[in-house]
Structure 1
């Protein structure tokens, strides 16, 4: 069976980006014991990621690169903010490089990277950590099957075999 909408895909992958010198930098991986399992076409994966997998079969290997625009977008120069230090009075002050959890006025949760610590403010980058970076994927297709009716109604896979429900 080939990968198409409404199939459950299990695959391995290694994700790399490139640094300023053009060298590949390892980000993360999913191996056969901890494979990535998802419902193809449900909107949970990057659209261009899925597009590159369309038509592949069990055992096929893949390698492709997504531009920043096709991944998590370009860096938004307006997505930086200075937060008052007194926001952190009940917790330890974050350090440069830390990723901190935040919440907006509507209750939405997101993360920000700390870029500087000043006398009265903490500077944060609100861009996705992978924004502005090309994404280089390589891996192997482990299994492809039709999604169950329950998975289709829930909008996500219930494991490689369809029985890891919730």
Structure 2
């Protein structure tokens, strides 16, 4: 079976990123490895990843390897200054499930938006009564270099399509 819309896809890959600065491309460095012990499974067309990621995989079959680069503009774009904001520290209290070390510079805070969807913010700076947070995607501003192999391609079940995620061994378990 070929990778196409609504197929369940399992991949192993290494993701490296690079950044262009002053017209000089940095050497790519590894930021994530999904191996056979921890493969990445998703429903094609619903991965939540940049569109180009799925377009480069379309038509591939189980056992095929892949290697492609998604430029910044087609990945997560450039940083949006409006997504950097100072919030009162008292919003991140123990009562709300936060520990003081979580507000240290460089940490990512696990948060939820107003609709209950998970998101994260990087702590940029402690401003005393406030903390400066960056809500941009962590890979904003980077070219994404993917190299890997297609482990599995199968039809998604009606339940998986209805729920929008993979079930079973490599997916979500509703138990």
Q: TM-score, normalised by structure 1?
A: 0.84
> SS of the residue aligned with 1:51?
helix
Q: Output the CA distance in 1 between the equivalents of 2:51 and 2:168.
A: 21
Q: Deviations over 1:124-144 (max 9, x none)?
A: 111111112111111001121
May I ask how many residue pairs the two structures share in their alignment? Answer: 165
Q: Output the CA distance in 2 between the equivalents of 1:15 and 1:83.
A: 32
**CA-CA distance at 1:36 after TM superposition:** 1.1
Q: TM-score, normalised by structure 2?
A: 0.80
Q: Output the CA distance in 2 between the equivalents of 1:118 and 1:161.
A: 42
Q: Output the CA distance in 1 between the equivalents of 2:114 and 2:2.
A: 44
| 2:134 aligned partner | 125
| 1:65 aligned partner | 69
Name the CA shift for 1:102/1:6 in 2 (closer, same or farther; >3 Å): closer
RMSD over aligned CA atoms reads 2.5
> SS of the residue aligned with 2:106?
coil
> Would you say the 8 A contact 2:39–2:170 is kept in 1?
no
> Would you say the 8 A contact 2:41–2:170 is kept in 1?
no
Which of structure 1's runs of 4+ aligned residues deviate more than 6 A? none
> Would you say the 8 A contact 1:10–1:160 is kept in 2?
no
In the alignment, which of 155, 158, 163 is matched to residue 146 of structure 1? 155
Name the CA shift for 1:107/1:55 in 2 (closer, same or farther; >3 Å): closer
Q: Output the CA distance in 2 between the equivalents of 1:42 and 1:86.
A: 36
Unaligned runs of 5+ in 2: none
